[in-house]
A and B are shown apart, each in its own frame.
Chain A
Amino acid sequence: MSSHADISAPFEPERGGLAACPACAVAPSAQSIAALAAGQGANIMLSLPSAHCAACISTVETTLMQEKGVKAARLNLTQRRVLIETDTGVTAAQMIAALARAGYEAFELNPDMLSSTQTEKVSRDLAMRLGVAFFSMMNVMLLSVAVWSGGDGATRDLFHWISALIAIPTVAFSGRPFFASAARSLAAGRLGMDVPISLALILATAISLYETTQGGHHAYFDAAVMLCFFLLLGRYLDHRTRAIARSAAHELAALEVPRATVLLKGTTEAVRPISQVGLGDIVRVRPGGRMPVDGVVIAGHSEIDRSLLTGESLPSFAGVGTQVLAGEVNLTGPLDISVQATGRETALHRMADLVAMAENAKTRYTSLAERAAAWYSPLVHLLSFAAFGVWLWITQGDLRYAINISAAVLIITCPCALGLAVPAVVTAASGRLFRAGLLIKNGTALERLAEVDVVVLDKTGTLTMGAPVLVNSTGHPDTVLRMAMALAAASLHPLAQSLHMAAQARGITAAHVTDIAEVAGYGIEGRYQGKTLRLGRADWVGAEAMDVTATYLRWGDLTYAFAFEDRLRPGVMQAMATFAAMGKTVHLISGDSPGPVAAMAQKLGITHWQAGALPQDKAQLIAELTAKGHRVLMVGDGLNDTAALAAAHVSISPASALDAARVASDIVLLGADMGPIADALRIAVQARRRILENFALSIGYNIIAVPLALVGLATPLAAALAMSLSSITVSLNALRLK
């Protein structure tokens, strides 16, 4: 069913044989470096998780075509990606903004990371073989039906010969994936699912050819090609799901297009791909930008948002000498950073590597299919050989008859339905989840998700959007808001912008404040009615700091505080309700201070919560729960969650999460809505039930058909009927998934 060897660790990018150094694997191909460097030109690829209908195609493509410099835009609805051909000078950011105005959330993808040509080649190759097997199956079946319905003598022999002409090349061509995989597993000393499959294919073809030359009554050519077809179908579906999972991993790695602004000779700015930034280079990070490297600040001061790394919701100050880490967001002033580590050397990537090791150490989950294959293959061989021996003894050495029986047993027991049982369900389920906005990165994630009984949630960025909203605007007189608004309009700081928006929403116009200047890292200053007006950090303004995210206003001797709260992700309430209905225990764990965490826990009705948690504490909680026999689902987005994500039985992270967190998790939530997580749990449980039902179905067929084959009553007609009926029932059962 699934060959184990090719499940590479999900974090490792697929490398060509050329990657000799770590940087080579990260470095984009030479031809695209130029385009990447400027972040423009040629092709831009965006991920559009919310596109889903015919109208979306029209809206998205028309919107993009109206943008200047766009030559062509095509939305791939299956992959939810849009490929835009542009003139040079057009950036992805413009496209994302245009789509945002049209109401679509878009993320930039790195097209280089997506050129997974190898997987695609294999998938096309399988499809070709599948097509050939289908063509042969139909033709051979046509001839076989004629034989079954009474053709005999010369007609039967002729039809058998024509069948042989079609079937033998087909089995040789279409059966190759099975033969190759069987040879591999035999060489490794294992008895995989492909060994009995190959044996059945070869034996059925050989015995039929022999019977044909002897003018015999029974030929199994139809069974051989039908086996080929159904098994290839299962293999194809399996491969597709895995290819999608793998390309999902790539897509996510591609979400952060690595670029940095480098200062050349201390003055000229140049945009470079991150792979070309070296130690000691000076990198400039503008307000709103994310640190591309680890380093130390050598010029400028600002505030930085560390929430993705630590879960802290309050921004912290950064000035000359402050150590910054890749992944942190610069909020107010431009910072020049002397590079101490780039790419794989950054704290962020080292963390990801640690996670990778933790994952490798974790005993690999054996899927239902693997468990089934483990006892199935030996049993099939044993049955077939037993039948051969017994019939050889009964018929006193009639080799031809004994081989015929044992071939019939192999054909009947061949895991047609079993080979389809899991892939069909997994394909149906992951298709449904993808439409709901979830990407399954790991093949066994669904099965593991079905076993979960405890849900552990992170707060900042997971339950919340990571964007602050003013909560006490009604607590201040309009005059205060007018002053604050005037200052806030001058800054890009998220708190200032949120404050400005809140004031705008109340229909307030800004006061006439003069001499407005932003003091990077502290706040904004101005003059109003002859007195100095300041909006910013508590210590700078001279106000008493509160326990919650807040900004402070001082006018003369008066101080005012504006408190902010992170907005809840849509669908959180619905997800919590579903968790409760399904009887899951929910834990909340966050690196944030106790105030906001307690408030959140109370709001959502979560009784188990923990604040101020370090990354180790989170992993510790997961370990404790696991030790108690629980199966834990971890949902988190920050770097501080990665260890916990890797340690959990199954993990989910939102697309807005940091690279490392997405790499560590099994499933990625594409949109902003939390609701699909609840759906995923429900679908996973259902999918598991369908898989087990399918196993039961195919075992049922075998229980009826195998005794027939053993006593020598299985005609090619009976074999064909059993095979097609069981395959069709399991496929239909898989489609029942709602």
Chain B
Amino acid sequence: MNILVYLIPISLLLGGFGLGFFFWAMKTRQFDDPEGSAARILRKDWDDRPQD
């Protein structure tokens, strides 16, 4: 059962990363226009290269 000493912190850390990314996404307003974001990835406008 000694493996738990590593596994539990690792699982908490990974979960914490997830939480951190969620906070970051909220802060950078990624949830302002969910419908628009879903539609935007289907456009052909900027497919060739990244937008400048």
Q: Using a CB–CB distance below 8 Å, which chain A residues touch chain B?
A: 53-54, 57-58, 75-79, 124, 127-128, 131-132, 135, 138-139, 142, 155, 158, 162, 166
Total chain B interface residues with beta-carbon distance under 8 A: 23
> What does the 1/0 interface line of B40-52 toward A look like (CB < 8 Å)?
1011010000000
Complex Cα gap A54–B39 (Å): 5
Interfacial chain B residues near A127, Cβ < 8 Å: 26, 31
Q: Is the CB of A128 within 8 A of B26?
A: yes
Nearest B residue to A76 via CB reads: B33
Complex Cα gap A139–B16 (Å): 10
Q: Is the CB of B33 within 8 A of A162?
A: no
Q: Is the CB of B42 within 8 A of A162?
A: no
Q: Is the CB of B43 within 8 A of A57?
A: yes
Q: Is the CB of A78 within 8 A of B34?
A: yes
Quote the shortest CB–CB distance from A117 to chain B (angstroms).
Answer: 13
Among candidates A54, A78, A158, residue contacting B43 with C-beta atoms closer than 8 Å: A54
Give the residue among B15, B26, B31, B36 with the most A Cβ atoms within 10 A.
B36
Complex Cα gap A158–B7 (Å): 14
Q: Using a CB–CB distance below 8 Å, which chain B residues touch chain A?
A: 1, 4, 8, 11-12, 15-16, 18-19, 22-23, 26, 31-36, 39-40, 42-43, 45
Q: Is the CB of A155 within 8 A of B39?
A: no
Interfacial chain B residues near A138, Cβ < 8 Å: 15
Complex Cα gap A637–B45 (Å): 41
Interfacial chain A residues near B16, Cβ < 8 Å: 135
**Given known contacts A135-B15, A139-B11, A155-B1, A57 and B40 CB-to-CB distance under 8 angstroms:** yes
Nearest A residue to B44 via CB reads: A58
Complex Cα gap A649–B33 (Å): 33
Among candidates B33, B42, B43, residue contacting A79 with C-beta atoms closer than 8 Å: B33
**Given known contacts A128-B23, A155-B1, A139 and B15 CB-to-CB distance under 8 angstroms:** yes
Q: Is the CB of A131 within 8 A of B12?
A: no
Complex Cα gap A2–B23 (Å): 26
**Given known contacts A57-B40, A124-B26, A77 and B33 CB-to-CB distance under 8 angstroms:** yes
Q: Is the CB of B1 within 8 A of A131?
A: no
Interfacial chain A residues near B42, Cβ < 8 Å: 54
Complex Cα gap A158–B42 (Å): 49
Complex Cα gap A75–B35 (Å): 11
Complex Cα gap A54–B40 (Å): 6
Quote the shortest CB–CB distance from B8 to chain A (angstroms).
Answer: 6
Q: Is the CB of B26 within 8 A of A131?
A: yes
**Given known contacts A54-B39, A124-B26, A132 and B19 CB-to-CB distance under 8 angstroms:** yes
Complex Cα gap A46–B11 (Å): 47
Nearest A residue to B27 via CB reads: A124
Q: Is the CB of B15 within 8 A of A78?
A: no
Q: Is the CB of A76 within 8 A of B26?
A: no
Complex Cα gap A65–B22 (Å): 33
Q: Is the CB of B23 within 8 A of A76?
A: no
Nearest B residue to A135 via CB reads: B19
Q: Is the CB of B19 within 8 A of A78?
A: no
Interface residues of A, dominant DSSP: helix
Q: Is the CB of A77 within 8 A of B35?
A: yes
Q: Is the CB of B43 within 8 A of A58?
A: yes
Quote the shortest CB–CB distance from B32 to chain A (angstroms).
Answer: 7
Quote the shortest CB–CB distance from B36 to chain A (angstroms).
Answer: 4
Complex Cα gap A385–B33 (Å): 47
Interfacial chain B residues near A53, Cβ < 8 Å: 39
Interfacial chain B residues near A78, Cβ < 8 Å: 32-36
Quote the shortest CB–CB distance from A168 to chain B (angstroms).
Answer: 15
Among candidates A58, A155, A166, residue contacting B45 with C-beta atoms closer than 8 Å: A58
Quote the shortest CB–CB distance from A698 to chain B (angstroms).
Answer: 28
Nearest A residue to B18 via CB reads: A135
Contacts A78-B33, A124-B26 aside, 6 further interface pairs with beta carbons under 8 A come to A57-B40, A57-B43, A58-B45, A77-B36, A78-B32, A139-B11
Sample (30) of A-B pairs whose CB atoms are under 8 Å apart: A53-B39, A54-B39, A54-B40, A58-B43, A76-B32, A76-B33, A77-B33, A77-B36, A77-B39, A78-B32, A78-B35, A79-B33, A127-B26, A127-B31, A128-B23, A128-B26, A131-B19, A131-B22, A131-B26, A132-B19, A135-B15, A135-B16, A135-B18, A135-B19, A138-B15, A139-B12, A139-B15, A142-B11, A155-B4, A158-B4
Interfacial chain A residues near B39, Cβ < 8 Å: 53-54, 57, 77
Interfacial chain B residues near A155, Cβ < 8 Å: 1, 4
Complex Cα gap A53–B39 (Å): 7
Interfacial chain A residues near B22, Cβ < 8 Å: 131, 135
Complex Cα gap A600–B17 (Å): 65
Q: Is the CB of B8 within 8 A of A162?
A: yes
Complex Cα gap A142–B39 (Å): 35
Complex Cα gap A132–B4 (Å): 24
Among candidates B4, B8, B19, B36, residue contacting A76 with C-beta atoms closer than 8 Å: B36
Give the residue among A53, A77, A124, A162 with the most B Cβ atoms within 10 A.
A77
Interfacial chain A residues near B15, Cβ < 8 Å: 135, 138-139
Interfacial chain B residues near A124, Cβ < 8 Å: 26
Nearest B residue to A138 via CB reads: B15
Complex Cα gap A77–B40 (Å): 10
Interfacial chain A residues near B43, Cβ < 8 Å: 54, 57-58
Among candidates B4, B8, B23, B32, residue contacting A131 with C-beta atoms closer than 8 Å: B23
Quote the shortest CB–CB distance from A261 to chain B (angstroms).
Answer: 36
Quote the shortest CB–CB distance from B12 to chain A (angstroms).
Answer: 6
Complex Cα gap A128–B22 (Å): 8
Quote the shortest CB–CB distance from A51 to chain B (angstroms).
Answer: 9
Complex Cα gap A58–B43 (Å): 7
Complex Cα gap A131–B25 (Å): 11
Interfacial chain A residues near B33, Cβ < 8 Å: 76-79
Interfacial chain B residues near A162, Cβ < 8 Å: 8
Complex Cα gap A639–B42 (Å): 44
Interfacial chain B residues near A77, Cβ < 8 Å: 33, 35-36, 39
Complex Cα gap A57–B23 (Å): 28
Quote the shortest CB–CB distance from B20 to chain A (angstroms).
Answer: 10
Complex Cα gap A78–B26 (Å): 16
Complex Cα gap A79–B35 (Å): 9
List 9 A-B pairs, minimum CB-CB distance, nearest first.
A77-B36, A54-B39, A77-B35, A78-B35, A135-B19, A76-B33, A131-B22, A54-B42, A78-B33
Complex Cα gap A138–B15 (Å): 9
Quote the shortest CB–CB distance from A630 to chain B (angstroms).
Answer: 38
Complex Cα gap A415–B23 (Å): 28
